Amino acid sequence: MFTDLHRDAIVADTHNDLLMAVSARPPDRWASFFRERWLPQLRAGGVDVQVLPVFIDDQYRPEGALRQTLRMIECAHVIAEGNPDEVGICLDGRQIDETVALGKIALVIALESMPGVDASVELIPTLHRLGVRVASIAHWGRTPLADGSGQDATGSRLTSEGVAALAEMERLGMVFDISHLSASGVAHVLELATRPVIATHSSARSLRDHHRNLTDDQLRAVAANGGVVCVNFLAAFLDEKPEGYTIERLADHILHIARVAGIDHVGLGPDFIREVMIDLTPPCCETSVSGLDALASVPGLDGPSGMPLVTEELVRRGLGEDEIRKILGGNVMRLFRAEMGRPSPAEPQAAP
Protein backbone atom coordinates (compact mmCIF):
# COMPACT_ATOMS: atom_id res chain seq x y z
CA MET A 1 0.00 0.00 0.00
CA PHE A 2 1.38 3.43 -0.92
CA THR A 3 0.90 4.82 2.61
CA ASP A 4 3.19 2.16 4.05
CA LEU A 5 5.81 2.86 1.38
CA HIS A 6 5.63 6.61 1.98
CA ARG A 7 5.90 6.21 5.75
CA ASP A 8 8.84 3.81 5.48
CA ALA A 9 10.82 5.77 2.86
CA ILE A 10 13.06 8.75 3.63
CA VAL A 11 11.19 11.78 2.32
CA ALA A 12 13.38 14.82 1.62
CA ASP A 13 11.92 18.23 0.75
CA THR A 14 14.72 20.41 -0.59
CA HIS A 15 12.83 23.71 -0.62
CA ASN A 16 10.23 25.08 1.80
CA ASP A 17 10.26 28.82 2.61
CA LEU A 18 8.66 28.35 6.03
CA LEU A 19 11.50 30.31 7.69
CA MET A 20 10.10 33.46 6.08
CA ALA A 21 6.80 32.98 7.89
CA VAL A 22 8.28 31.87 11.20
CA SER A 23 10.90 34.62 11.38
CA ALA A 24 8.19 37.26 10.77
CA ARG A 25 6.89 36.50 14.28
CA PRO A 26 8.46 37.88 17.47
CA PRO A 27 11.54 35.84 18.39
CA ASP A 28 9.90 34.44 21.50
CA ARG A 29 7.25 32.87 19.25
CA TRP A 30 9.58 31.26 16.71
CA ALA A 31 9.76 27.81 18.30
CA SER A 32 6.10 27.65 19.30
CA PHE A 33 4.81 29.02 15.98
CA PHE A 34 6.78 26.38 14.10
CA ARG A 35 5.47 23.70 16.46
CA GLU A 36 1.85 24.84 16.10
CA ARG A 37 1.70 25.73 12.40
CA TRP A 38 4.37 23.80 10.49
CA LEU A 39 5.34 20.71 12.47
CA PRO A 40 1.90 19.06 12.12
CA GLN A 41 2.04 19.57 8.35
CA LEU A 42 5.53 18.11 8.07
CA ARG A 43 4.53 15.12 10.18
CA ALA A 44 1.35 14.56 8.17
CA GLY A 45 3.40 14.65 4.98
CA GLY A 46 5.94 12.18 6.28
CA VAL A 47 8.81 14.64 5.74
CA ASP A 48 12.06 13.34 7.23
CA VAL A 49 14.54 15.87 5.82
CA GLN A 50 13.60 19.52 5.41
CA VAL A 51 15.92 21.98 3.70
CA LEU A 52 15.20 25.49 5.02
CA PRO A 53 16.17 28.21 2.52
CA VAL A 54 17.01 31.68 3.79
CA PHE A 55 15.36 34.01 1.29
CA ILE A 56 15.70 37.77 1.77
CA ASP A 57 12.76 39.92 0.64
CA ASP A 58 13.38 43.10 -1.33
CA GLN A 59 12.50 45.27 1.67
CA TYR A 60 15.74 44.17 3.36
CA ARG A 61 18.02 44.69 0.35
CA PRO A 62 20.70 45.81 0.17
CA GLU A 63 21.45 47.41 3.53
CA GLY A 64 19.61 44.95 5.76
CA ALA A 65 20.29 41.77 3.81
CA LEU A 66 23.08 40.41 5.98
CA ARG A 67 21.22 41.28 9.19
CA GLN A 68 18.08 39.47 7.95
CA THR A 69 20.17 36.52 6.77
CA LEU A 70 21.63 36.16 10.26
CA ARG A 71 18.20 36.63 11.82
CA MET A 72 16.69 33.80 9.74
CA ILE A 73 19.61 31.48 10.47
CA GLU A 74 19.13 32.22 14.16
CA CYS A 75 15.42 31.47 13.72
CA ALA A 76 16.26 28.00 12.37
CA HIS A 77 18.46 27.30 15.38
CA VAL A 78 15.80 28.56 17.81
CA ILE A 79 13.23 26.28 16.13
CA ALA A 80 15.52 23.31 16.74
CA GLU A 81 16.45 24.30 20.27
CA GLY A 82 12.79 24.86 21.17
CA ASN A 83 11.65 21.52 19.72
CA PRO A 84 14.52 19.15 20.57
CA ASP A 85 12.36 16.01 20.54
CA GLU A 86 10.96 16.80 17.09
CA VAL A 87 13.69 18.36 14.90
CA GLY A 88 17.43 18.91 14.74
CA ILE A 89 19.82 21.09 12.70
CA CYS A 90 22.11 18.78 10.73
CA LEU A 91 25.56 19.61 9.37
CA ASP A 92 26.35 16.46 7.41
CA GLY A 93 24.87 13.23 6.14
CA ARG A 94 25.76 11.28 9.27
CA GLN A 95 23.84 13.72 11.45
CA ILE A 96 20.86 13.54 9.11
CA ASP A 97 20.83 9.73 9.34
CA GLU A 98 21.12 9.83 13.13
CA THR A 99 18.37 12.43 13.47
CA VAL A 100 15.96 10.54 11.22
CA ALA A 101 16.74 7.26 13.02
CA LEU A 102 15.56 8.94 16.25
CA GLY A 103 12.22 9.74 14.61
CA LYS A 104 13.02 13.44 14.31
CA ILE A 105 12.97 15.71 11.27
CA ALA A 106 16.43 16.67 10.02
CA LEU A 107 16.69 20.38 9.23
CA VAL A 108 19.30 21.66 6.76
CA ILE A 109 19.95 25.40 6.47
CA ALA A 110 20.33 26.78 2.93
CA LEU A 111 20.82 30.17 1.29
CA GLU A 112 18.60 31.14 -1.64
CA SER A 113 20.89 33.59 -3.41
CA MET A 114 23.39 35.45 -1.26
CA PRO A 115 22.31 39.10 -0.92
CA GLY A 116 23.88 39.17 2.52
CA VAL A 117 27.22 38.15 1.03
CA ASP A 118 27.24 39.81 -2.39
CA ALA A 119 30.88 39.98 -3.52
CA SER A 120 32.29 39.37 -0.02
CA VAL A 121 33.10 35.71 -0.62
CA GLU A 122 35.15 35.68 2.59
CA LEU A 123 31.83 35.61 4.49
CA ILE A 124 30.86 32.19 3.11
CA PRO A 125 32.98 30.35 5.73
CA THR A 126 31.28 32.46 8.42
CA LEU A 127 27.86 31.31 7.24
CA HIS A 128 29.16 27.75 7.01
CA ARG A 129 30.21 27.99 10.68
CA LEU A 130 26.63 29.04 11.48
CA GLY A 131 25.29 25.86 9.89
CA VAL A 132 24.60 26.70 6.23
CA ARG A 133 25.15 23.60 4.07
CA VAL A 134 23.39 24.38 0.74
CA ALA A 135 23.47 27.65 -1.22
CA SER A 136 22.66 29.30 -4.54
CA ILE A 137 24.19 32.54 -5.78
CA ALA A 138 21.35 34.21 -7.73
CA HIS A 139 17.57 34.53 -7.76
CA TRP A 140 15.49 36.16 -10.52
CA GLY A 141 17.81 39.03 -11.32
CA ARG A 142 21.46 40.05 -11.26
CA THR A 143 23.79 39.69 -8.28
CA PRO A 144 27.50 40.44 -7.86
CA LEU A 145 28.09 36.69 -8.25
CA ALA A 146 25.92 35.74 -11.24
CA ASP A 147 22.71 36.41 -13.17
CA GLY A 148 19.45 34.71 -12.31
CA SER A 149 17.32 32.94 -14.91
CA GLY A 150 15.23 36.08 -15.41
CA GLN A 151 18.33 37.58 -17.04
CA ASP A 152 18.97 34.73 -19.49
CA ALA A 153 19.09 37.14 -22.42
CA THR A 154 22.36 38.63 -21.16
CA GLY A 155 24.21 35.36 -21.73
CA SER A 156 26.25 36.16 -18.63
CA ARG A 157 28.44 33.62 -16.89
CA LEU A 158 29.60 33.73 -13.26
CA THR A 159 31.58 36.77 -12.21
CA SER A 160 35.07 36.27 -10.82
CA GLU A 161 33.52 36.47 -7.34
CA GLY A 162 30.95 33.86 -8.37
CA VAL A 163 33.74 31.54 -9.49
CA ALA A 164 35.46 32.10 -6.14
CA ALA A 165 32.18 31.38 -4.32
CA LEU A 166 31.80 28.04 -6.09
CA ALA A 167 35.36 27.06 -5.21
CA GLU A 168 34.90 28.11 -1.59
CA MET A 169 31.67 26.15 -1.26
CA GLU A 170 33.33 23.05 -2.66
CA ARG A 171 36.23 23.48 -0.23
CA LEU A 172 33.85 23.71 2.72
CA GLY A 173 31.53 20.88 1.75
CA MET A 174 28.61 23.20 1.03
CA VAL A 175 26.34 21.87 -1.73
CA PHE A 176 25.99 24.27 -4.68
CA ASP A 177 22.38 24.92 -5.80
CA ILE A 178 21.80 25.82 -9.47
CA SER A 179 18.07 26.58 -9.17
CA HIS A 180 17.34 30.16 -10.30
CA LEU A 181 20.72 30.47 -12.02
CA SER A 182 20.78 31.71 -15.63
CA ALA A 183 21.33 29.20 -18.45
CA SER A 184 24.83 30.51 -19.10
CA GLY A 185 25.52 30.46 -15.38
CA VAL A 186 24.43 26.83 -15.10
CA ALA A 187 26.73 25.92 -18.00
CA HIS A 188 29.61 27.78 -16.36
CA VAL A 189 29.07 26.07 -13.01
CA LEU A 190 29.00 22.64 -14.64
CA GLU A 191 32.21 23.44 -16.51
CA LEU A 192 33.98 24.32 -13.27
CA ALA A 193 32.36 22.08 -10.66
CA THR A 194 34.49 19.29 -9.25
CA ARG A 195 31.68 18.05 -6.99
CA PRO A 196 28.01 17.19 -7.67
CA VAL A 197 25.50 20.03 -7.60
CA ILE A 198 21.80 20.17 -6.75
CA ALA A 199 18.82 21.97 -8.27
CA THR A 200 16.68 22.35 -5.15
CA HIS A 201 13.46 23.38 -6.92
CA SER A 202 13.43 23.19 -10.72
CA SER A 203 11.11 21.37 -13.14
CA ALA A 204 11.38 20.27 -16.78
CA ARG A 205 11.50 22.99 -19.42
CA SER A 206 10.47 20.67 -22.24
CA LEU A 207 7.10 20.25 -20.48
CA ARG A 208 6.72 23.88 -19.38
CA ASP A 209 8.77 26.42 -21.30
CA HIS A 210 9.74 28.80 -18.51
CA HIS A 211 13.22 30.10 -17.72
CA ARG A 212 12.96 28.74 -14.17
CA ASN A 213 12.87 25.18 -15.49
CA LEU A 214 15.80 23.14 -16.80
CA THR A 215 16.23 22.01 -20.40
CA ASP A 216 16.91 18.39 -21.31
CA ASP A 217 20.54 19.27 -22.06
CA GLN A 218 20.86 20.81 -18.59
CA LEU A 219 19.24 17.76 -17.01
CA ARG A 220 21.73 15.47 -18.72
CA ALA A 221 24.61 17.73 -17.68
CA VAL A 222 23.54 17.66 -14.02
CA ALA A 223 23.32 13.87 -14.20
CA ALA A 224 26.80 13.68 -15.75
CA ASN A 225 28.03 15.83 -12.85
CA GLY A 226 26.50 13.35 -10.38
CA GLY A 227 23.95 15.88 -9.17
CA VAL A 228 20.23 15.76 -8.42
CA VAL A 229 17.32 17.80 -9.84
CA CYS A 230 14.48 18.26 -7.36
CA VAL A 231 11.12 18.94 -8.99
CA ASN A 232 9.28 22.16 -8.15
CA PHE A 233 5.56 21.69 -7.36
CA LEU A 234 4.62 25.34 -8.01
CA ALA A 235 1.68 25.06 -10.38
CA ALA A 236 2.77 27.79 -12.78
CA PHE A 237 6.06 25.97 -13.39
CA LEU A 238 4.25 22.75 -14.27
CA ASP A 239 1.89 24.01 -16.98
CA GLU A 240 0.86 27.24 -18.68
CA LYS A 241 -2.86 26.66 -18.13
CA PRO A 242 -4.77 26.12 -14.88
CA GLU A 243 -6.27 22.90 -16.19
CA GLY A 244 -2.73 21.54 -16.12
CA TYR A 245 -2.30 22.22 -12.41
CA THR A 246 -2.70 18.56 -11.47
CA ILE A 247 -0.88 15.79 -9.64
CA GLU A 248 -0.70 13.98 -12.97
CA ARG A 249 1.20 16.88 -14.53
CA LEU A 250 3.58 16.98 -11.58
CA ALA A 251 4.25 13.28 -12.10
CA ASP A 252 4.89 14.00 -15.78
CA HIS A 253 7.74 16.32 -14.77
CA ILE A 254 9.17 13.81 -12.30
CA LEU A 255 9.07 10.98 -14.82
CA HIS A 256 10.46 13.14 -17.63
CA ILE A 257 13.47 14.11 -15.52
CA ALA A 258 13.91 10.47 -14.50
CA ARG A 259 13.93 9.42 -18.17
CA VAL A 260 16.30 12.16 -19.33
CA ALA A 261 18.69 12.42 -16.37
CA GLY A 262 18.20 8.93 -14.96
CA ILE A 263 16.27 7.62 -11.98
CA ASP A 264 19.28 8.32 -9.72
CA HIS A 265 19.17 12.06 -10.40
CA VAL A 266 15.65 13.21 -9.51
CA GLY A 267 14.19 14.34 -6.19
CA LEU A 268 11.47 16.60 -4.76
CA GLY A 269 11.75 20.37 -4.13
CA PRO A 270 8.10 21.36 -3.63
CA ASP A 271 8.50 25.12 -2.99
CA PHE A 272 5.35 25.25 -0.86
CA ILE A 273 4.96 29.02 -0.95
CA ARG A 274 1.17 29.51 -0.93
CA GLU A 275 0.79 29.58 2.86
CA VAL A 276 3.89 31.74 3.26
CA MET A 277 2.57 34.27 0.75
CA ILE A 278 -0.86 34.39 2.36
CA ASP A 279 0.75 34.72 5.77
CA LEU A 280 3.03 37.59 4.84
CA THR A 281 1.16 39.54 2.16
CA PRO A 282 -1.60 42.03 3.08
CA PRO A 283 -4.84 41.56 1.06
CA CYS A 284 -4.20 44.89 -0.63
CA CYS A 285 -1.05 43.76 -2.35
CA GLU A 286 0.06 41.63 -5.27
CA THR A 287 0.75 37.93 -4.80
CA SER A 288 2.32 37.42 -8.20
CA VAL A 289 5.97 36.70 -8.92
CA SER A 290 7.19 37.95 -12.30
CA GLY A 291 3.66 37.69 -13.63
CA LEU A 292 3.00 34.20 -12.20
CA ASP A 293 0.30 33.51 -9.65
CA ALA A 294 2.24 32.37 -6.59
CA LEU A 295 -0.98 31.31 -4.85
CA ALA A 296 -1.98 28.82 -7.53
CA SER A 297 -1.32 25.26 -6.41
CA VAL A 298 -1.93 21.67 -7.40
CA PRO A 299 -5.07 20.46 -5.57
CA GLY A 300 -4.02 18.70 -2.40
CA LEU A 301 -0.44 19.91 -2.73
CA ASP A 302 -0.59 23.40 -1.27
CA GLY A 303 1.51 22.31 1.70
CA PRO A 304 3.68 19.53 3.12
CA SER A 305 0.76 17.42 4.36
CA GLY A 306 -0.04 16.49 0.76
CA MET A 307 3.30 14.76 0.09
CA PRO A 308 1.83 11.21 0.28
CA LEU A 309 -0.22 12.06 -2.83
CA VAL A 310 3.03 12.09 -4.82
CA THR A 311 3.84 8.56 -3.71
CA GLU A 312 0.31 7.46 -4.53
CA GLU A 313 0.58 8.87 -8.07
CA LEU A 314 4.01 7.33 -8.66
CA VAL A 315 2.65 3.95 -7.58
CA ARG A 316 -0.28 4.45 -9.94
CA ARG A 317 2.17 5.20 -12.76
CA GLY A 318 3.76 1.81 -12.23
CA LEU A 319 7.11 2.77 -10.70
CA GLY A 320 8.80 0.18 -8.54
CA GLU A 321 9.37 0.59 -4.82
CA ASP A 322 13.11 1.16 -5.19
CA GLU A 323 12.54 3.83 -7.84
CA ILE A 324 10.00 5.64 -5.68
CA ARG A 325 12.30 5.56 -2.67
CA LYS A 326 15.05 7.19 -4.74
CA ILE A 327 12.71 9.97 -5.89
CA LEU A 328 11.22 10.64 -2.45
CA GLY A 329 14.58 11.18 -0.81
CA GLY A 330 17.09 8.45 -1.52
CA ASN A 331 18.89 10.38 -4.26
CA VAL A 332 19.10 13.55 -2.19
CA MET A 333 20.42 11.60 0.77
CA ARG A 334 23.09 9.97 -1.40
CA LEU A 335 24.25 13.44 -2.41
CA PHE A 336 24.10 14.84 1.11
CA ARG A 337 25.96 11.90 2.62
CA ALA A 338 28.76 12.20 0.06
CA GLU A 339 29.07 15.99 -0.16
CA MET A 340 27.62 17.82 2.81
CA GLY A 341 30.19 18.75 5.40
CA ARG A 342 32.92 16.97 3.46
CA PRO A 343 36.26 18.15 4.93
CA SER A 344 38.61 20.29 2.91
CA PRO A 345 41.56 18.42 1.37
CA ALA A 346 43.73 20.73 3.48
CA GLU A 347 42.13 19.48 6.68
CA PRO A 348 43.15 16.22 8.35
CA GLN A 349 40.77 13.31 8.00
CA ALA A 350 39.34 11.92 11.20
CA ALA A 351 40.75 8.59 12.33
CA PRO A 352 38.52 5.63 11.45
Contacts of 338 (CB under 8 A, 6+ apart): 93, 196
Residue 334 confidence (pLDDT): 98
Residue 321: in which H helix or E strand, if any? helix 321-325
Position 83 pLDDT exceeds 70: yes
Residue 58 confidence (pLDDT): 74
> What pTM did the predictor assign?
0.94
Q: Which residue has the higher pLDDT, 293 or 18?
A: 18
Task: Give residue-wise pLDDT tens across range 285-312.
Answer: 556 667 787 778 899 998 999 999 999 9
Residue 247 confidence (pLDDT): 97
Cα–Cα nearest to 336, from 223, 175, 192: 175
- Across residues 193-203, what is the average pLDDT? 98
Exposed/middle/buried for residue 212 (C-beta within 10 Å: 0-12, 13-18, 19+): buried
Q: Which residue has the higher pLDDT, 275 or 343?
A: 275
Residue 350 confidence (pLDDT): 42
- Across residues 124-143, what is the average pLDDT? 95
Residue 9 confidence (pLDDT): 98
Residue 254 confidence (pLDDT): 98
Mapped onto helix, strand or coil, the DSSP state of residue 97 is helix
Confidence of residue 279 (pLDDT cuts 50, 70, 90): confident
Confidence of residue 217 (pLDDT cuts 50, 70, 90): very high
Separation CA 91–CA 130 (nearest Å): 10
Mean pLDDT, the chain, as a whole number?
93
